[in-house]
Chain A
Amino acid sequence: MSASRLKQLKSQILPDKIIAMAGSPSPLTTHVLNTAMGVPGSNMSLSLYRQDPSTNAWNLITTGTTNDDGRCPGLITKQSFTSGVYKMHFETAQYWASMGETCFYPHVEIVFTINDPGQKYHIPLLLSRFSYSTYRGS
């Protein structure tokens, strides 16, 4: 089998982005959905924070932007994912402004407690200009 044919087969079995991600996927994931338009909420800025239990200050862990599918892989590594109180911050008004619309919510912050960091946690945000919802998924 030629090298180019092998490469072609490999890219069909393992999409490039999975090859690029070293180590295991983030134990914490999100998914932003634009429920008003029935599309993923893509190109939305977001950030993840962990609260310092002694000072109550929020420490930034990562910032990112949702991809075409409304997801943001690589939020946190398994090693960094310790028990504690975390916060996901979504730049919702900025997102709607980029489409020429206003939004009732300048941003959305979801604060949650992780007691068992061995589990997987999925924190979706279902959003319109005037409503949002979230739930703990896996």
Chain B
Amino acid sequence: MMAAAESGPLTTHVLNTADGVPAARMALSLHRLDSRLMIWTMLSVGTTNKDGRCPGLISRETFTPGMYKLRFETGSYWDSLGQTSFYPYVEVVFTISEPEQRFHLPLLMSRFSYSTYRGS
């Protein structure tokens, strides 16, 4: 079941590097830039599961070339753990020119740092 859900062309994985655990129950959303109107359109919204993943972000058919944004509600996440965070949210903006590939965009984060990379 999980394998099918994870086979979408775009996946993410949020890790709480401060506590060494997946970041579960973090709200996030995927947006695509409408290049004519120059506005962001929200494509999906979800919450990470207990493994820090959020399957089903986008389907192969909808995944067209363009500029996308993954927005992670990191501030709310840390808030729910009773902690403050330097970053109210994290937005990762990226360009997809070859949508037939797989793109894995993890977010490794603590209260005062974060990193991301393009995986597959």
Contact = CB atoms under 8 A, between A and B. Distances in A.
Contacts of B86: 112-113, 136
Interface in A63-121: 85, 93, 103-113, 115
Contacts of B95: 93, 103-106
Contacts of B67: 106
A58 interface: no
A111 B117 contact: no
Interface residues of A, number: 22
B70 to A, nearest CB: 11
Interface stretch (A15-23, A25-33, A125-133): A125-133
Interface secondary structure of B, over-half rule? strand
B116 A131 contact: yes
B88 A133 contact: no
B38 to A, nearest CB: 13
Interface residues of B, number: 22
A132 B109 CA distance: 12
A130 B94 CA distance: 10
A110 B87 contact: yes
A11 interface: no
Contacts of B117: 130-132
Interface string B93-104: 111000000000
A93 B75 CA distance: 27
Nearest to B95: A106
Contact of B88 (A103, A105, A113, A136): A113
Nearest to B85: A113
Nearest to A135: B113
B114 A105 contact: no
A62 interface: no
Interface of B: 67, 75, 84-95, 108, 112-118
Interface of A: 85, 93, 103-113, 115, 126, 130-136
8 contacts: A93-B95, A106-B93, A110-B87, A131-B118, A132-B116, A132-B117, A133-B114, A134-B114
